[in-house]
Copies of this chain bind each other. A is one copy, B any other.
């Protein structure tokens, strides 16, 4: 088993990648290309990825029987049992694509398909900030707020693969409209686009202009990255916006702690980039809205895997599938310890 290798496939809305790795989380080789969902069919895109993967294996002198399996991480909704992707928002035209079936026909080895939030939760648990924990809540905080749950040492998928939609808990009845069509979801209050919206709205009332300068002068071009950059320069207005978003994020996390009593909550993307500027308001809100007794066993930390996250997410799927509940030691780390400030790329 120790010599076996794993192929990870990450299908993103912009770029897709194939990575060759092992159970220790080492990436031996990787290739990426544009996904181009509007220019070619899903079958063509998958054929192209298969070709790239086969070339990469050949160059590395790896035979197929040295592979344990293929993990595919991509946007949901999807059905993990059949490995079918149903029209993810970031892949226009990918309607009911039987990814598992197509890739198993090409590779002749088992293929696991999972949504990227669950896959990244597994990667952070196996290789990152959640190592050794039994109960892990992982949350992305980027274009959307999604997540994955490791409960009693296993990925919890729910009844039809929809568990972990933590960004779509309603925190503010009649609040701002969310991309999902509901109002007042955590995602509508604390995601990257929500942070950008807060900046644009406040700008209308003549608040401080540093954020708009960073955005090149046009308020319509403001993104969360401009707000984080301005806050890092000490801009008071930008700091306040991150405090508001962080407070809602903390409220949502406090609810998760009340419901799931996790050992660790891991937050990706903006929490990693902005560091204490967003982690501090998150922690303050969690302390206000969650019970002390639950917080005593729970740490709240930024994600650790940085730009290795997507490759390891796909690879982690095969590790989980071949050895579920592979390892945990149930050793909680102290409350609110920050384990890492590693940076990730690409947060809107």
A288 to B173, CA, bound (A): 11
Chain B contacts of A149 at CB under 8 A?
Answer: 259
- Contact (Cβ within 8 A) B162 A261: yes
- Contact (Cβ within 8 A) A297 B261: no
Q: How far is the CB of A43 from chain B (nearest CB, A)?
A: 25
Q: Which one of A2-10, A94-102, A249-257 is at the B interface? A: A249-257
Q: Does A168 contact B (CB under 8 A)?
A: yes
Q: How far is the CB of A144 from chain B (nearest CB, A)?
A: 13
Residue of B nearest to A167 (CB): B258
Residue of B nearest to A330 (CB): B159
Q: Indicate with 1 or 0, residue by residue over A171-185, a CB within 8 angstroms of chain B CB atoms.
A: 111000000101000
- Contact (Cβ within 8 A) A170 B289: yes
A162, A289, A298: residue with the most chain B Cβ atoms closer than 10 Å: A162
Smallest CB-CB A-B distances: 6 pairs: A158-B261, A169-B255, A163-B261, A162-B261, A165-B258, A159-B263
- Contact (Cβ within 8 A) B297 A160: yes
Q: Give which listed residue, B160, B262, B291, contacts A296 with CB less than 8 A.
A: B160
A180 to B169, CA, bound (A): 22
- Contact (Cβ within 8 A) B135 A159: yes
- Contact (Cβ within 8 A) B296 A261: no
11 A-B residue contacts at CB 8 Å?
A: A159-B332, A160-B261, A160-B293, A160-B296, A160-B297, A162-B293, A162-B294, A165-B258, A166-B258, A170-B171, A255-B255
Q: How far is the CB of A335 from chain B (nearest CB, A)?
A: 12
The copy count of this chain in the complex is 2
Q: How far is the CB of A8 from chain B (nearest CB, A)?
A: 25
Chain B contacts of A296 at CB under 8 A?
Answer: 160
Q: Does A200 contact B (CB under 8 A)?
A: no
A interface with B by C-beta (< 8 Å):
77, 134-135, 149, 151-152, 154, 156-166, 168-173, 180, 182, 251, 254-256, 258-263, 288-289, 291, 293-294, 296-298, 330, 332
Chain B contacts of A330 at CB under 8 A?
Answer: 159
Chain B contacts of A157 at CB under 8 A?
Answer: 261
A254 to B182, CA, bound (A): 12
Chain B contacts of A259 at CB under 8 A?
Answer: 149, 163-166, 169, 256, 259-260
- Contact (Cβ within 8 A) B169 A258: yes
Q: How far is the CB of A156 from chain B (nearest CB, A)?
A: 6
